[in-house]
Amino acid sequence: QKEVEQDPGPLSVPEGAIVSLNCTYSNSAFQYFMWYRQYSRKGPELLMYTYSSGNKEDGRFTAQVDKSSKYISLFIRDSQPSDSATYLCAMSVAGFQKLVFGTGTRLLVSP
Amino acid sequence: AAGVIQSPRHLIKEKRETATLKCYPIPRHDTVYWYQQGPGQDPQFLISFYEKMQSDKGSIPDRFSAQQFSDYHSELNMSSLELGDSALYFCASSQPMGAHTEAFFGQGTRLTVV
């Protein structure tokens, strides 16, 4: 069983929709939780990261971490076609060292 | 702003050949991480270096080796290549290690073994 599970999608939504992306994990030692966006043929780009439990908001993006359930989420409000990409969750025991990634969810936002 | 530079961007090798992938970190970044992303798979951590010393090791095969040089660039050497080594290889760099020091990823090198 993988340490981090993520539905690969694809997830198709119309422009303006609220998108919910999720990951579950099994390692209770994880303390740092990240969301990366990856466009085709590009490297992962950090969107947000959270330490321990709680919520974090940045513009249209909100990250939530529920350590008791070992569940993290990324919400995208007012989704745009330019948000179409693969979204990878990642987590670690110590900062950005030795990240463990999910498989990524492919998001398609149609105009 | 300068980003992480990886070369080459694409590489085609035959089975049993060797390959060398290069990573040039962002200026003043002294930590480098290597990840392997197979087709449709999540990136897997291979190895990392801090101040030219190996700092952590993940699922890196014995056929692979890596090092970080005095100018902080890093090279991943892959020998006796197998078809299963075909993947996207990412390098990331960060400033001196700290809990909240973001690692920035390069564009990756796509290795195809035929």
* Closest B-chain CA to A98: B45
Residues of chain B with pLDDT under 70: 1, 97-100
Residue B99: its chain A contacts at CB < 8 A? Answer: 32, 51, 94-95
Measured from the Cβ of residue B74, the count of other Cβ atoms closer than 10 Å reads 25
Which positions ≥6 away from A14 have C-beta within 8 Å? A109, A110
Distance CA B29, CA B97 (A): 10
pLDDT at B86: 97
pLDDT at A96: 84
* Closest A-chain CA to B5: A43
Query: Chain centroid to CA B76: how far?
Result: 6
pLDDT at B112: 97
pLDDT at B2: 76
